[in-house]
Amino acid sequence: MSARILPLLLHEDSGLTRRNVTVDRLVVAGWTGRDRAAVEHHIKELGALGVKPPATTPIFYRASAVRLTIADSIEAVGDASSGEAEFVLLQTGGRLWVGAGSDHTDREVEKYGVTVSKQMCDKPIAAEFWPMVEVAPHWDKLMLRAYIAENGKRTLYQEGPVTAMLDPLELIEKFDDKAGLAEGTLMFCGTLSAKGGVRPSETFEFELDDPVRGRKIQHRYFIHTLPVLG
């Protein structure tokens, strides 16, 4: 099993601390919406791109942990990939943490097979994580947003509450059958519909907004396109 060691910023009891965190299991949860109508909308949204509907909802794809990155740029083959803003869960140091990431996906490969597509692109995450116990009391106030560069402007691409997706503990239970996430597991937890439809951009910016505590987890990355030569 391949592992990724990431220098993350954890909001510990003693303050913000940078720690090298080992992630050896990466899970990408899909079709996690609480609103079944919204889930069907997203299925149709991707269906318009030729993506087959999932076998079950939610569904838990696996990808190599080495795909995780906190870098400010990634490389993708061709110009058909795009990001998805998500909250992410991390189990490390015996605690559950919450952060933000982008399930960057190759949409051409996604037509062939979603499981394969999850392995094709790096998965950017923000380096900063909050303890789950800090945000659990006001979880329903947290917001996800994403922005892309379009026609030379910063354009709102996704926006909505984290409660659009299943509750984190419910997701964990559905994946690990009440055992809780294993140490070293990071889980992407689902996304929102894209305003104007799923489309590529040379930059992708995402954030998890905590208006109760007046703070955000943010990250922005560039997508460098590699040529398709056959």
- Whether 230 shows a pLDDT value over 80: the answer reads no
Q: Which helix (H) or strand (E) holds 129?
A: strand 128-131
What CA–CA distance (Å, rounded) separates 43 from 177?
25
Across the strands, what pairs with 25?
185
Provide the residue range defining the domain that includes 121.
Answer: 4-226
- Whether 74 shows a pLDDT value over 90: the answer reads yes
Q: Which residue has the tokens 């990155």?
A: 69
pLDDT of residue 55: 84
- Whether 1 shows a pLDDT value over 70: the answer reads no
Give the CATH number of the domain where residue 19 resides: 3.90.850.10
**Buried (b) or exposed (e) across 183-207, using 16+ Cβ within 10 A?**
ebbbbbbbbbbbeeebebbebbbbb
Closest CA relative to residue 104, chosen from 84, 89, 75: 84
Task: Tell me the pLDDT tens digit for each residue of 26-57.
Answer: 999 998 988 888 778 777 877 787 778 888 88
Strands 68-69 and 123-124, by their bridges, are parallel
Mean pLDDT of 9-28: 95
Q: What is the CB-side half-sphere exposure of residue 70 using CA atoms within 13 A?
A: 17
Across the strands, what pairs with 153?
150
Q: pTM for the full model?
A: 0.94
pLDDT of residue 103: 98
- Whether 216 shows a pLDDT value over 90: the answer reads yes
**Buried (b) or exposed (e) across 50-66, using 16+ Cβ within 10 A?**
ebeeeeeebbbbebbbe
SS3 188: strand
Task: Tell me the pLDDT tens digit for each residue of 91-107.
Answer: 999 999 999 999 999 98
Report the number of distinct structural domains present in the chain: 1
What CA–CA distance (Å, rounded) separates 174 from 177?
6
Band (167; pLDDT cuts 50, 70, 90): very high
Kindly state the tokens that stand for 149: 């560069």
Phi, psi torsion values for 21, nearest 5 degrees: -110, 130
Mean pLDDT of 122-139: 98
